[in-house]
Amino acid sequence: MADLLGDVAKYYTEKLRAHGETPNGVDWNSEEGQVLRFEQLAKVIDGSVPFSISDLGCGYGAFYGYLSKRFSRFAYIGCDVSEAMTEAAARRFPDANAKFVVAAEPPESCDFAVASGIFNVKLGSADAEWLKHVHATLDVLDRAGKRGFAFNCLTSYSDKERMREDLFYGDPCRLFDLCKRRYSKQVALLHDYGLYEFTILVRKPQP
């Protein structure tokens, strides 16, 4: 698994070098799509009270920028396996309520955890191996978000002729089922926002 994430880190470090701190630099096609994804993930947040949040695969910190325009009382931890990404994020956002660390698991748990785009690029891994990695990483997100977590994934309902060998396309129904059985009874599947992907929100009932 370490090798697999090492290759992922190299892949994204190269993207950042080639395209800079832009959506293309984290392998997105557009800022519009990047923000549309953030809008889905942010639905897991209850912002009526101060909250803490971790962002697994934070890239150059774009989700922190998105949150800071919408919320004022929150603490944020961004984690990424690419050191070049966390360095770029820390330079962009030297804010007191944000920290950025090189890690594949947040150093402490928060109220919420999100992950945008971390399951997409599987490089040379077989689907079965990558699916194991996805399942293990969902356990990481579950530990990281005490009140809930959210993630996105490319969809197996994509047009066949546009699907790529190096990308992973998850089955939204199976991942919904897994989350419902393993993590919480309160799970939402969002597959209506016009991208070839879906977002799952897992809310954990509070005592």
Ligand X SMILES: C[S@@+](CC[C@H](N)C(=O)[O-])C[C@H]1O[C@@H](n2cnc3c(N)ncnc32)[C@H](O)[C@@H]1O
- Does 118 engage in binding with ligand X (CB under 6 A)? yes
d(C-alpha 86, C-alpha 59), whole Å: 7
Span near ligand X by CB under 6 A; candidates 113-121, 124-132, 155-163, 186-194: 113-121
- Does 59 engage in binding with ligand X (CB under 6 A)? yes
The candidate with the shortest Cα–Cα distance to 137, out of 127, 149, 123, 154, is 149
- Gyration radius of the chain's alpha carbons: 16
Q: Which of residues 15-44 bind ligand X (CB under 6 A)?
A: 26-27, 34
The candidate with the shortest Cα–Cα distance to 1, out of 104, 84, 120, is 104
Q: Minimum distance from CB of 115 to ligand X (Å)?
A: 7
- SS3 state at 8: helix
Task: Output the six-digit token pair for 175.
Answer: 């991942």
Token pair 């919408």 is found at 70
Q: 122-161 mask for ligand X (x: CB under 6 A)?
A: ---------------x------------------------
- SS3 state at 34: helix
Span near ligand X by CB under 6 A; candidates 111-119, 160-168, 172-180, 187-195: 111-119
Please report, as ranges, the residues that interact with ligand X according to CB under 6 A: 5, 8-9, 12, 26-27, 34, 56-59, 62-63, 79-82, 85, 104, 116-118, 120, 137
